Structure 1
Amino acid sequence: MKREYFLKHKNTIVFPCTFDDETNRLVNSGKIDAVELLPIGVGRVGNSINKKMFARWLEERQIPNTRYGFKELLERIGVDNASELMLKNLGLNMTDHYWLCPAERNLKWEEINFFENDFSVEIDTVLLKRDYVQVGDTLDLNPAYTTSGNLAKAWMIEDGKAMLYKQGSHNYMQEPFNEVFASEMHKLNNCSNYVSYRLKNIDDIPYSVCENFVDVKTEFVSARNILESVKKDNQISYLQHFKNICLDHGIENVADEVDYMIATDYIIGNSDRHTNNFGIIRNAVTLEWIKLAPIFDSGNSLWFDLSTPRIDIKQDIKCNSFYQTQDTMIKHMESIPPNIRTEEIPFLLYDIFKQSADMSEERIRKIESGLTYRGRKYKNIVNEKD
């Protein structure tokens, strides 16, 4: 059997699409009704969409099978795969205003979107400590079911604001502390475009907590989708391609902000600045590109996944980004920000990390010395460029 949906942007039908009832995979799509509202990164073939590009776009709305507790989550909800969970959640997320409306249901955006409506805020439910609430075949809609990333996470509503809680991993539960440290580093450097994180302990487990950076009037578009929206000139890099597209859409400070992000990622050894965790913010009504998205998702840094004896502060760090290592990334930058304050940040790190119950004094001091080393190395690169 097959199920019919409409991809909608708010209440406007963009195009109809069909999913297989057994595999929950896209099998067909119909004529485009609103070309101007096609998701960025989804191309056209005549009057229809490029199904391969749309299927890839949909995958970004699914939790990965590498998510902590992935199998247990599916079992408790009673679904077979992440595609089915995404469809039951109507493709809704906390990133943009697209969703999948079942053709047989007369649903309105105002009634079901996460920006204007409450959702389950029981963090124990979302993090597998309590059974899920289901009424018949209806799943409580929840943004945690369509938020990407490997870490266990949950959305909570606090004082009317949607807040993302992310847990750490491995023996040290270090990622939440990395997030808080990175935001304090940006604050020290007078950066105005970053997500601010704070720490919170629940049942002796540390979480990083941040407010959603889009709302009912704005939406996030990933660099990955932006890069796929325009054919790249073979003579330029993907990094320059991204900058050029942003410039064409009126974001004039893109070079400075991207270079700052890459530079600070280098200093903290961020291994995971992939093209889905940076991008732009656009107006959800006019579709005007407003600015680069604030810097977020810096948890996979500072040797977070290595045991203390295995940390080699002088070793180049592999990264999932435009290039394969941090040293290669920094060498390919045309402009390296010279005024980043590297001397003070090790002191910031110690004050934050000492709050951890899982990191020893030895580990904190070793990471602190590694941060000092990378800061000096960065300054040497700056001096060589002058």
Structure 2
Amino acid sequence: MDFLIMNRDTVVAEWIDNKLNLIKPSLAPMYLELTSNVPKWLETRAIDSHRANSRLLKKALRLTERDDIGSVLSVNAVTITDNYWIKPINSDLCYADVRFDNDYFATLALTGSYDSFNRAAHSKSTKTPELTNIGSFEKCWKLINGDWWMYKKANHDEMFSEFFIYQLGMELGFNMAEYKRGNGVIKTKDFTDNAMVNFEPAFNFMNDCEDYIQTLETLKDLCPNCICDYVKMLFLDTICANPDRHTFNFGILRDINTGDVLGLAPNFDNNMALISRGYPKNIKRKNDIFVSLFNELLEFDNRLKKYIPPLTEEIILKVIKSVGMRVRSKEITEFIMNGYNQIEQ
């Protein structure tokens, strides 16, 4: 299939006879500029097929092609958090025709309930952001008063961990995506403000490489202003033991008109950190891999130490109290402070 790759209503590339022709590289997705691998780029935009509710969603939509690329093509590869999309050669479609304006399939994507499946299966609408809502957790996009919010299922400990880290980051003055607690869900606001900027996940310029030093060096070339927020993100990952900072849950924001990198995206997706998988047994943080990796980064460039804020037990206890959930405050505080005290400052 031949098509044009768009940034809003600007043609940025052509995909013809399985070959990529970049027309405006500065406005194209970074991954295409670096690799020219259009099929892989499309796959990275697809809903996780292993999510049970994704299979129900595709069934309700009666998709004839249920593989990753087929799912993405069915909605012109549109997502909530950027302005990239595709259209057939010689098509009259414009961005206003394909961008999302409703959350009709949200309940089905989040809960997979019979009623939501039955209702969705009888809908005439097929345009949904859920087919390009990536990630392994059951989730959905909800449109509330003109703003998109991500709703993600969470148990008590996942919700505490996500919301506590958000509140701790805010207390420390970090750049954090906005989170709210819900009934069995954790909610986060679309930090692109309905694609007023383009979010590029780090995968687009790092592939699967999660190495701190290599990422730091790449960010220095892309946007030196990202360094401060990147180190602060890793600092939170370290003290709160976040094992899930892969290249799809952080990234950069780009100007939609120039392609310039504006900065690091706000810190998001911390629901597998801290106590989300149970209270850590290694409270003293001996041989802690998170601390070791972060200290290696600080040893590589000791100027980065200036981005590490002071942290006290009082700050942690204050934040735990503000979250308002029953947890073992003493254990959590000790775990975080032991990690903090082992960081080379």
Query: Which structure's residues are more often helix, by fraction?
Result: 2
Q: 1:54 offset after TM fit, Å?
A: 2.6
1:244 paired residue among 217, 220, 224 = 217
Give the corresponding residue for 1:280. 252
- TM-superposed deviation, 1:58: 1.8
Find the counterpart in structure 2 of residue 332 from structure 1.
Answer: 296
> Aligned pair in 2 of structure 1 residues 380, 289: CA closer, same or farther (>3 Å)?
same
SS at match of 1:119: coil
Instruction: State the distance in 2 between where 1:30 and 1:273 align.
Output: 31
What do residues 141-194 of structure 1 show as CA deviations (whole Å, max 9, x unaligned)?
1212201111111111112111111112xxx45333322211110111122x11
5+ residue gaps, structure 2, are 299-303
After superposition, the C-alpha distances for 1:317-343 in whole angstroms (9 at most, x for unaligned) are 99xxxxx94133223121345424241
TM-score scaled to structure 2, two decimals? 0.84
Say if 2:47 and 2:132, in contact at 8 Å, map to a contact too. yes
What letter matches 1:126 in structure 2? A
In the TM superposition, what is the alpha-carbon distance from 1:295 to its structure 2 partner?
Answer: 0.5
1:119 equivalent among 75, 98, 102 = 102
| Partner residue in 2 for 1:34 | 24
Contact 2:46–2:133 (CA under 8 A) maintained in structure 1: yes
Alignment partner of 1:293 out of 239, 253, 265: 265
Mapped pair 1:227 → 2:168: no
Distance in structure 2 (CA, Å) of the matches to 1:253 and 1:161? 27
1:312 aligns with 2:281: yes
2:323 is matched with 352
Question: 1:268-303 deviations in whole A, cap 9, x for unaligned?
Answer: 111101111111111011111111111111111123
Q: Which amino acid aligns with 1:213?
A: F
Q: What's the counterpart of residue 200 of structure 1?
A: 182
The code of the aligned residue for 2:10 comes to: T
Normalised TM-score (structure 1): 0.75
Whether the 8 Å contact between 2:20 and 2:38 is mirrored in structure 1 is no
Pick 1 or 2: higher relative contact order, CA cutoff 8 A, min separation 6: 2
Task: Give the match for residue 158 of structure 2.
Answer: 175
User: How many angstroms apart in 1 are the aligned matches of 2:8 and 2:152?
Assistant: 28
- Decide whether the 8 Å contact of 1:15 with 1:29 is kept in 2: no
**1:134 offset after TM fit, Å?**
6.1
Q: Which amino acid letter does the alignment assign opposite residue 330 of structure 1?
A: F
Q: Distance in 2 between matches of 1:313 and 1:16?
A: 53
Structure 1: 5+ residue stretches without partners: 19-26, 319-323, 355-360
Checking the alignment, whether the CA contact within 8 Å between 1:199 and 1:208 is kept in structure 2 is yes
Q: Assess if the C-alpha contact under 8 Å between 1:317 and 1:326 holds in 2.
A: no
User: 2:169 pairs with 186, 189, 211, which one?
Assistant: 186
Tell me if structure 2 keeps the 8 A contact 1:346–1:371: no
Instruction: Tell me the equivalent position of 1:372.
Output: 333
Q: What is the CA distance between 1:71 and its match in structure 2? A: 2.9
Q: Percent identity?
A: 21
Once residues 96 and 218 of structure 1 are traced to their aligned partners in structure 2, the CA distance between those partners, rounded to angstroms, is: 7
Q: CA deviation at 1:68?
A: 4.5
Deviation at 1:135, TM superposition (A): 7.8
Would the aligned equivalents of 1:197 and 1:208 in 2 still touch at CA under 8 Å?
Answer: yes
Q: Does 1:61 align with 2:42?
A: no
Tell which deviates more after alignment, 78-87 or 148-157: 78-87
Query: How has the CA–CA distance of structure 1 residues 141 and 177 changed in structure 2, closer, same or farther, with 3 Å as cutoff?
Result: farther
For 1:342 and 1:58, the matched residues in 2 are separated by: 45
Match of 2:237 in 1: 265
Alignment-derived partner of residue 102 in structure 1: 88
SS of the residue corresponding to residue 148 of structure 1 reads coil
Number of positions where the alignment pairs a residue of Structure 1 with one of Structure 2: 330
Q: Deviations over 1:223-279 (max 9, x none)?
A: 221235xxx9xxxx9433333333334x33433221111111111111101111111
- CA change 1:300–1:72 in 2 (3 A) is same
SS in 1 for 2:165: helix
1:218 aligns with 2:218: no
Distance 1:35 1:305 in 2: 42
Partner of 1:8: 6
CA distance in 2, matches of 1:179, 1:317: 24
> Counterpart amino acid of 1:332?
E
Q: How does 1:130-145 map to 2 (within 5 A)?
A: 130-131=116-117, 133=120, 140-145=126-131
2-side partners of 1:66 and 1:370: how far apart? 35
Taking a change above 3 Å as real, the CA distance of residues 317 and 295 of structure 1, as seen in their structure-2 partners, is farther
Deviations 1:82-131 (A, max 9, x none): 322211111100121111213364210123223xxx22345323332212
Q: Secondary structure at the match of 1:70?
A: helix
Q: Please list, as runs of the form range in 1=range in 2, the aligned pairs for 1:35-50 lying within 5 A after superposition.
A: 35-43=25-33, 50=36
Q: AA paired with 2:38?
A: F
Q: Deviation of residue 376 (structure 1)?
A: 2.3
Hey, what does 1:164 align to over in structure 2? 150
